[in-house]
Homo-oligomer: A and B are copies of this chain.
């Protein structure tokens, strides 16, 4: 096993090198006309300005928490590694988003330009840009994990640095110390991810909704029209929300699943192999994903359907490769009696694919649900809203069953029937399995906003009908992959959150075995029950806060766009240029301001619940938030996706087409769906993991001071 462990850092470096190679390839492409360069530069400048301000704000938050953690370490509630691990988690998560955003904004004009040649060349550029993001995320994630693993292993190889409990072997004490410290850098990643998702989500939807409300509805100019002062902000939003936000989100799921599974290895008695298997699995996934990317290409003149199957082929081949390579890994390294863990990995892989498929089924206009939804637009906005909400609600059933079945099988095949802790370890591994192919899944996902931006640039630079048609095709394909990606992000968040809950309780057991032995986690314990209620409510409160934030921020944009239309003479005639920067600035400031409350909520609630209701209350809260958060996130993502595509379906000529009353009703649905699918829904993913992370870091404090024990 020892040597195989080195696969993890090697895999990380390979991923980063591959990302570098892809980036070089993208940057070699031509950016097109001067106008295209100029527009692209505006988007880039806006995105940079936003990220700079966001990172400054986040730095303040991290500084405060760093001091808190230092103080806690000084009082002996944490080891000294924790504050620093927290910082690296945050740093790498932010860096993933930053690099992804950089390359995305560098490739939008290039994609539009490439689309002038053919659909396929456009796809290649956009997909490569997405690939940079995907492999940076997995590369940096696995690098951070490997760094801490090897460093901590070296540090704790000195028994003087260890506290060895009575009856504990040296090895067990080492593993425990390593995994405990590693768990906490997940909190840094989660905090950063929350800011990126919430801030980016608010930015992108405020710009989008604001631009549409005044531009499309009031002034009657088309989408992405250069006369609209908010159009650059809208394009910036795609990058800071869908790229940087999504990257930080999945960085956090990826890292969370690997380190929580490692932590579960302690209780399961799996030794060092148990800790490193998830890391090695991740490395295998990286290799498989890289191979997969080479299958994403089609012949020239391919139809949109061909393109989709090209993207899918890449993902499926990667998954199949992981399934093949994981077998000898488990069989030869862990032994034939542990082959059940292999089945758990396959469960996770399959669950990810299936949830992705059903997300597409419920949100794509090639299937019944969205087609039926678009028909409800004929009786006005009220019926399409009711229809979309019930579609979203109904669509939660299948993912719940998929996750349930995956959890159940993973648990039992891993030996949970005899040894509870082995079962939990199996559940953790299934999350790792699901996320192992993240490199390529994220590439197809991040491809979407790049294509979306390319479309915007094609429109603004007046590249002609044909090119615009191609970028539209790329964009529409991007919507499908984005929907699949969202389902995948939610599914992996649920499994990761479950693994994190188990890790939390494992931590409690390590810190105070006696307390743990007397801990009543029965769902009939009032502390657990009340925790369930509070946890169940949090995603709702969180969704409300973020939706309201989008509303307020969008109002600001509406005012500004109206002001510019009124005050800048010649703007509507195309003789004067709008002040794009002011809209970007407004979005930046609002997003910055509005992301504070939700973040504080996510950090403070677990501590308050813990201080009042104790560990049982926290465990209940985590379970409640995971359950209701998963369901609400699926609902919001699918309602939003279906409304979006129902509108597109009508725009393609159904039910009266563009400009009809049905279309107007569908636009209402789409506008409601915007914060659903791109702000609140995705932010819930992170909320449920951050709650666990905070609980883990503050476990000692809760144990010392909780009111109910």
Contact = CB atoms under 8 A, between A and B. Distances in A.
Nearest to A210: B379
A416 B526 CA distance: 9
A695 to B, nearest CB: 14
Nearest to A519: B522
A400 B536 CA distance: 9
A558 interface: yes
A408 B530 contact: yes
A569 to B, nearest CB: 26
Given A522-B521, A672-B385, A558 B379 contact: yes
A181 to B, nearest CB: 23
17 contacts: A379-B555, A380-B668, A381-B381, A390-B545, A390-B547, A391-B544, A393-B547, A397-B537, A401-B534, A403-B533, A424-B524, A521-B523, A523-B523, A523-B528, A532-B623, A536-B627, A537-B631
Contacts of A628: 536, 627-628, 631
Nearest to A635: B540
A551 interface: yes
Contact of A534 (B209, B404, B532, B533): B404
Q: How many copies does the complex hold?
A: 2
A304 interface: no
A339 B693 CA distance: 42
Contacts of A493: none
A533 B394 contact: no
A403 B533 CA distance: 9
Nearest to A400: B537
A551 B387 contact: yes
Contacts of A379: 213, 555, 558
A355 to B, nearest CB: 13
A139 interface: no
A543 interface: yes
A202 interface: no
Interface stretch (A231-239, A253-261, A439-447, A497-505): A497-505
B533 A386 contact: no
Given A408-B530, A541-B396, A390 B668 contact: no
Interface in A385-419: 385-387, 389-394, 396-397, 400-401, 403-404, 407-408, 411, 416
A696 interface: no
A671 interface: yes
A577 interface: no
A550 B505 CA distance: 45
A132 interface: no
A423 interface: yes
Contacts of A386: 547, 550-551, 671-672, 675
Interface residues of A, number: 78
Nearest first, the 9 closest Cβ-Cβ pairs linking A and B are A382-B671, A393-B544, A394-B544, A390-B544, A404-B530, A536-B627, A393-B540, A390-B547, A400-B537
A504 to B, nearest CB: 10
Contact of A523 (B420, B541, B623): B623
Interface string A659-683: 0000000011001100100000000
B523 A619 contact: yes
Contacts of A558: 379
A148 interface: no
A619 to B, nearest CB: 6
Contacts of A668: 380-382, 385, 668
B394 A545 contact: yes
Contacts of A545: 390, 394
A517 B551 CA distance: 53
B672 A382 contact: yes
A219 to B, nearest CB: 14
Contacts of A620: 523
Contacts of A382: 209, 213, 381, 667-668, 671-672
Contacts of A548: 387, 390, 394
A186 B270 CA distance: 49
A529 interface: yes
A541 B403 contact: no
A543 B393 contact: yes
A207 to B, nearest CB: 15
Contacts of A623: 523, 529, 532
A706 interface: no
A427 interface: yes
Query: Which of the listed residues A385, A533, A630 has the most CB atoms from chain B within 10 Å of its own CB?
Result: A533
A707 B392 CA distance: 31
Given A387-B551, A523-B619, A627-B628, 11 more contacts: A381-B381, A383-B671, A387-B548, A401-B534, A407-B529, A416-B526, A420-B524, A424-B524, A521-B524, A524-B619, A628-B628
Nearest to A385: B672
Contacts of A394: 540-541, 544-545, 548
Contacts of A540: 393-394, 396-397, 631, 635
Contact of A526 (B408, B528, B532, B547): B408
A291 B550 CA distance: 51
